Amino acid sequence: ERSAATFRAREERVAASQESNAWSAISTRYVAILTMLAVALFFLGIASTAKGSARPTLTLGGGALGLFALAWTVTSMATGINHIEQAAIDRLVEGNVALQKGTGYASSDLDKARPCLEEAERAAEGALEQDSDYLSPLLLRAGARLTLANAILSKGSETEETKRLIEGALDD
């Protein structure tokens, strides 16, 4: 239970930090867009008072900056913030607890370690089903696969299962 509470607190803190960083990036982007709009309006304002060959250049530059800022705004609005669902965090916590148990058994009893490590892998997959953009379950699944492969290798020779587990971990 203490492990689960520790894993949950850490993962909720990481998720909140990632969301905060994403909001910070969006606000920075909007400040840049507003600055670009201000420059575009400045160019258009100067163009309205300019005479001669400078007028079309300033008008074109202001219009181009304004259109670019508009396009950037639209694309920025289309990209959202990935809020990690609590259900995904819960599945990840279950998987981390199972991984911890399995790791404890891995060096001494493969038969006890295997179900725990397979449960950690299933929990990671469940978390990914909840939120496919959530990266922590990939690390969990890779850790479970590598721990199981290592436990199998320590008991004998390399098998097709260990190759599959290692390749899967590398993919993650």
pLDDT tens string 94-137: 999 999 999 888 888 888 998 999 999 999 999 999 888 888 99
Q: State the distance between the two ends of the chain, measured CA to CA, in whole angstroms.
A: 27
Helix (H, G, I), strand (E, B) or coil at 50: coil
Task: Give the span between the Cα atoms of 48 and 43, in whole angstroms.
Answer: 9
Q: What is the pTM of this model?
A: 0.69
Residues in the chain: 172
Tokens of 17: 């930090």
Task: Give the span between the Cα atoms of 108 and 92, in whole angstroms.
Answer: 25
Tokens of 33: 């867009």
R_g (Cα) of the chain, nearest Å: 26
Burial of residue 6 (number of CB atoms within 10 Å: 0-12, 13-18, 19+): middle
pLDDT tens string 133-165: 888 999 999 999 999 999 888 888 778 988 999
